[in-house]
Amino acid sequence: MARHLITSALPYINGIKHLGNLVGSQLPADLFARYQRGRGNEVMFICATDEHGTPAELAAAKAGQDVASYCAELHEKQAEIAAGFGLSFDHFGRSSSEENKQLTQHFAGVLADKGLIREVSENQMYSNADGRYLPDRYIEGTCPNCGFDSARGDQCDNCTKQLDPVDLINPYSTISGSTDLEMRATKHLYLGQSQMKDQLNDWIDSKSDWPVLTTSIAKKWLNDGDGLQDRGITRDLDWGVPVKRGEQDWEGMEGKVFYVWFDAPIEYIACAQEWVAAGKGSDWERWWRTDKGADDVTYTQFMGKDNVPFHTLSFPSTILGSGEPWKLVDYIKSFNYLNYDGGQFSTSRGRGVFQDQALAILPADYWRWWLLSHAPESSDSEFTWENFQQSVNKDLADVLGNFVSRITKFCRSKFSEAVPEGGTFGEQEQALIADLTSKVRAYEGFMEDKEVRKAAQELRSIWVAGNEYLQAAAPWSTFKTDPEQAAAQVRLGLNLIRLYAVLSAPFIPFTSAKMLEAMGASDDSWPGDVAEALSALPAGHAFTVPDVLFAKISDEQREEWQEKFSGTRD
């Protein structure tokens, strides 16, 4: 039995996330976790809300709440929505946890002892109107690299270039909008990433199986311009992990907190500690410490391309630089952006369909299927209502849903609500079994390789094969002349429903559960031998005809939603 540690990028706490956030990290991570569990492997799938930094402070201020209360409330909302989408986390933690606080301070102390943290006196933007230093995300302006007019002080969302606030053209305070900014002296801690460049480069070069998107971004940061730069890891904020050197105070750093991008990835490890504290497990170290058993773990991270630099450079600098036996990531699956109807999704600008809104109008599996089957892997992809309607109607309703409805209703009509006996599998059935065996093995290969869209296409082709068989075999015609052979055809069709439920569970878990329940199937084991799987429900086994699995989206509904979600969240 293989062991898989799976993490998805931590969603920021600042509000409900849009569908682009979902497909860029959490949803494909859940797909992989469900698949590996289905194969009988041991899985630890963890995620958490990212609660520190300026986004939390700004969102709390906008909501008129203190930041701790705001984060607690939004964590519960995000956890509820994650459950609504069927995200099967073993634990959904919080970066504001005591475990993450202590672990972050521990890493800071160890890195300082290794000479990888240095104090830097620097000039930082100060807002006279706000009476405070402005951390990176409290400053926006025009990107000097691509001209994007809403670049943040730490990074441009458009071109992903790492920035400093002083690089921005026409900078302004996001608190007050004031442009009355000046540079003032202050002191911060820097992580010596530049010292780790050769080690990081060798490590990345060893990952020959990583997606081109992941390695190209990492290499760009390593080698472009002046190469990998040291990174500031402290900020002048009230909310965050207080700067300490292990358990000791850090002289000169009083009142400062660690930068969110230093402590947030450490939460991956802390989340496993929270998992134990919550009584869900008993041994987190066997997942995270190579001296405690984690050397046989395969660790996969899922994230959007904007998070790649921090997961290929900054967090590995922390892990490698510590010299301690922590588990390093084995594979980083990165995604491009999902755009919305001619533009971009944006949490801060309220543009697009948000996760709570999506669940309010349609069940989760409708969204899961479309998002995963259109995952932005090789390039950006775009959500349009026309494409969504077409995919739901053709893939889910016409192919899968129609197959289940036709075979169960026919059996009830001509036989009973039990698997019929009689007849034997002939050439048509054997040909289908051979075809499905090949397709299932291909599907497994795509899932193992994290090729999300290809896996979805192969799964659909498996559904189509059943429909084509049913159309060719035509048990409704066979029944008139050879009821026993029709019984064999129907028996195969009913077993296909169970097989489809098992194979489809990673993509559409709620519908899969309905299909298994309708078939009265308690065995949801993965099909090692397809022929055996297609005999799992024996003659006489009772079933029920399920309700319609997927209702078609009408033109009227599509037009209504297109208007309702025209790009601005209320």
HEC secondary structure over 31-66: HHHHHHHHCCCEEEEEEEEECCCHHHHHHHHHHCCC
Nearest by Cα to 489 from 408, 413, 423:
423
For 534, the 3-state DSSP assignment is coil
Q: What is the DSSP string of 487-512?
A: HHHHHHHHHHHHHHHHHHTTT-HHHH
Give Cα 554 distance to the centre of its chain.
Answer: 30
Residue 430 tokens read as 């054997």
Q: How far apart are the first and last CA of the chain?
A: 48
347 appears as a binding residue in the annotation = yes
Whole-Å CA distances, 471 to 468, 476, 491: 5, 10, 15
- Using DSSP bridges, classify how beta strands 151-152 and 139-142 pair: parallel, antiparallel or unpaired: antiparallel
Question: Which residues, at least 6 apart from 558, have a Cβ–Cβ distance to it below 8 Å?
Answer: 385, 386, 388, 389
Evaluate whether 372 touches 456 at the Cβ level (below 8 Å): yes
What share of residues in the chain are helix, strand, coil (percent, to 5)? Answer: 50, 15, 35
pTM of the entire structure?
0.92
User: What is the H or E stretch that residue 68 is in?
Assistant: helix 67-84
Q: What is the DSSP string of 418-476?
A: B--------HHHHHHHHHHHHHHHHHHHHHHTT-HHHHHHHHHHHHHHHHHHHHHH-HH
Residue 341 tokens read as 């109807």
Nearest by Cα to 107 from 194, 217, 219, 189:
189
Evaluate whether 519 touches 498 at the Cβ level (below 8 Å): yes
Residue 115's region, left for phi above 0, alpha for psi from -120 to 50, else beta, is left
143 appears as a binding residue in the annotation = yes
Residue 216 tokens read as 């190209």
- Using DSSP bridges, classify how beta strands 343-344 and 381-383 pair: parallel, antiparallel or unpaired: unpaired
- Using DSSP bridges, classify how beta strands 331-335 and 244-245 pair: parallel, antiparallel or unpaired: unpaired
Q: Residue 12 has what DSSP assignment?
A: B
Question: Which residues, at least 6 apart from 51, have a Cβ–Cβ distance to it below 8 Å?
Answer: 13, 71, 75, 94, 95, 96
pLDDT number for residue 162: 83
Taken in order 344, 345, 346, 351, the sign of the CA dihedral is positive
The residues pairing with 258 across neighbouring beta strands, listed in sequence order, are 234
Fold of 383-533: Isoleucyl-tRNA Synthetase; Domain 1 (1.10.730)
Q: List phi, psi (to 5°) of 416.
A: -175, -175
CA distance 341 to 352: 8
Q: List phi, psi (to 5°) of 202.
A: -65, -40
Whole-Å CA distances, 10 to 62, 209, 239: 22, 24, 18
Q: What is the pLDDT of residues 400-424, one digit of tens each?
A: 999 999 999 999 999 999 999 999 9
CA distance 135 to 237: 8
Domain segments of the chain: what residues?
Answer: 383-533
Taken in order 383, 387, 389, 394, the sign of the CA dihedral is negative
Q: What is the largest CA-CA distance in the chain?
A: 92
Residue 83 tokens read as 């459950």
Q: What is the pLDDT along the chain (570 residues), one digit of tens a residue?
A: 999 999 999 999 988 999 999 999 999 999 999 999 999 999 999 999 999 988 898 889 889 999 999 999 999 999 999 999 999 999 999 999 999 999 999 999 999 999 999 999 988 889 999 888 887 878 999 999 999 999 999 889 889 888 888 889 999 998 889 999 998 988 999 999 999 999 999 999 999 999 999 999 999 999 886 779 999 999 988 899 999 999 999 999 998 999 999 999 999 999 999 999 999 999 999 999 999 999 999 999 999 999 999 999 999 999 999 999 999 999 999 999 999 988 877 665 667 899 999 999 999 999 999 999 999 999 999 999 999 999 999 999 999 999 999 999 999 999 999 999 999 999 999 999 999 999 999 999 999 999 999 999 999 999 999 999 999 999 999 999 999 999 999 999 999 999 999 999 999 999 999 999 999 999 999 999 999 999 999 999 999 999 999 999 999 999 999 888 875 544
Q: Residue 332 has what DSSP assignment?
A: E
CA distance 452 to 372: 6
Q: What is the DSSP string of 146-205?
A: T--TTEESSB-TTT--B--GGGSEEEEETTT----EEEEEEEEEEE-GGGGHHHHHHHHH
CA distance 13 to 71: 6
47 appears as a binding residue in the annotation = no
Q: Residue 408 has what DSSP assignment?
A: H
Roughly what angle, to the nearest 10 degrees, separates helices 427-448 and 452-473? 170
Matching residue, tokens 């987190």:
284
- Using DSSP bridges, classify how beta strands 117-127 and 181-191 pair: parallel, antiparallel or unpaired: antiparallel
